[in-house]
């Protein structure tokens, strides 16, 4: 097949890991006889430095006409002033809104060989295989914000239709997995969470009666993710809770650098990115873990291009490289010499071929 893929390297280690994902996608195209055209565009701090905007119109136009978008990371100390009128993160929020990608899907699983890299005991990690489905375009991140000398506010708003559509996405994913859905809210305190719970209960009872539903308050969910992570199948939650819980869940896998994500809407076009940040302290040093970006490329193949065999081949290659002993510094054992970002990618491509 032919496909146009927009690359948004961004800031920090974003360019490092995005180039690795591009190399893997190019290897997939060669192996499976596809034609992928890559278009690199600006976002985040790099875009601010070049154009004065965190998301230039040229980037939006390119993304809206592409088959899929692969993002690296945005932000860094250079642009870290929270009081600045223009910030890198604004570009990411604007991009999600422009593409209408309201469902952020973050898989979390543990490679057996990496169990020792997690701060949790190996027996707790046995059997961990979960998805977090995070609502991505509503809630407190997108609500009206006010600030005076002595007061500030961030408005959290959710509409019924926003909750209905994300719950349906999560429920369909659960139906194709182990049939269990955990909805996370803070209904004992927040009115938005009370609406979230009412809508979730109604949708699940009426449309997905065969799915086993568990409801947890967000503080309890945070505890149980560390105490009994293997019990979770699919977790669905609102924007800010999902942001926090998925970073916590990354520790199950041993490193933020291991985990991918897909942001999807009502069309095949999606936005794919590793869940880690820009890590400017290690940018350009050749030590960043590219596995999250490469696994994000696998999700791109699956969800936007409908290339399931190719996606599975990439995921198998990542697993084979790790099983064969390839480790970047963040996941290496104390007695093991780590490989570089590029060397890790070389090994994954070798395993793919």
Residues annotated as catalytic are: 141, 186, 219, 243, 247
DSSP E strand boundaries for 18-151 = 35-40, 68-73, 103-109, 129-135, 145-147
Q: How, if at all, do strands 262-264 and 103-109 pair? A: antiparallel
List Cα–Cα distances, 196 to 160, 191, 208, in angstroms: 8, 9, 16
* Measured distance CA(34)–CA(14) in Å, rounded: 25
Q: How many CB atoms lie within 10 A of CB 118?
A: 20
| Residues written for the chain | 353
Largest CA distance in the chain: 61
For residue 45, the surrounding DSSP H or E stretch is helix 44-51
Nearest in space to 327 (alpha carbons), one of 343, 316, 315, 312: 343
In whole angstroms, what is the distance from residue 90 CA to residue 54 CA?
6
Q: Which of 21, 125, 126, 116 is nearest to 332 (CA)?
A: 116
The DSSP annotation for 283-343 comes to TTTT----HHHHHHHHHHHHHTS--HHHHHHHHHHHHHHHHTT---TTT--TTSPPPPHHH
Quick count: other Cβ atoms within 10 Å of Cβ 137? 20
Residue 103 CA to its chain's centroid (Å): 10
Positive or negative torsion for Cα 265, 130, 205, 243: negative
Please state, in angstroms and rounded to a whole number, the distance separating the CA atoms of residues 109 and 111. Answer: 7
Q: What is the CA radius of gyration of the chain?
A: 20
């Amino acid at each position: 097949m032919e496909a146009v893929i927009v690359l948004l390297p961004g800031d920090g280690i974003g360019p490092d890991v995005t180039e690795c994902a591009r190399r893997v996608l190019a290897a997939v195209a060669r192996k499976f006889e596809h034609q992928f055209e890559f278009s690199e565009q600006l976002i985040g701090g790099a875009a601010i430095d070049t154009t004065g905007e965190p998301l230039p119109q040229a980037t939006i136009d390119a993304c809206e006409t592409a088959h899929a978008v692969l993002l690296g990371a945005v932000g860094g100390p250079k642009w870290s002033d929270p009081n600045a009128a223009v910030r890198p993160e604004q570009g990411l929020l604007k991009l999600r809104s422009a593409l209408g990608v309201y469902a952020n899907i973050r898989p979390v699983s543990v490679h057996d060989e990496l169990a020792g890299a997690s701060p949790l005991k190996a027996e707790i990690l046995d059997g961990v295989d979960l998805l977090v489905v995070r609502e991505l375009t509503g809630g407190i991140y997108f609500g009206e914000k006010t600030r005076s000398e002595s007061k500030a506010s961030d408005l959290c708003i959710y509409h019924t239709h926003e909750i209905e559509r994300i719950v349906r996405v999560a429920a369909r994913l659960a139906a194709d997995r182990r049939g269990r859905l955990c909805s996370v809210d803070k209904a004992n305190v927040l009115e938005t969470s009370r609406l979230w719970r009412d809508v979730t209960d109604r949708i699940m009872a009426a449309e997905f009666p065969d799915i086993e539903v568990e409801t947890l308050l967000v503080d309890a969910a945070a505890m149980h993710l560390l105490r009994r992570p293997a019990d979770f199948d699919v977790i669905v939650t609102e924007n800010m809770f999902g942001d926090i819980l998925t970073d916590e869940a990354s520790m199950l896998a041993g490193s933020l650098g291991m985990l991918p994500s897909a942001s999807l809407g009502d069309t095949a076009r999606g936005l794919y990115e590793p869940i880690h940040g820009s890590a400017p302290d290690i940018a350009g040093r050749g030590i960043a873990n590219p596995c999250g970006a490469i696994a994000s490329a696998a999700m791109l193949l699956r969800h936007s291009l409908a290339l399931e065999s190719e996606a599975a081949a990439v995921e198998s290659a990542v697993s084979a490289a790790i099983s064969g002993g390839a480790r970047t510094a963040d996941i290496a054992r104390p007695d093991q010499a780590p490989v570089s970002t590029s060397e890790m990618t070389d090994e994954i491509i070798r395993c793919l071929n």
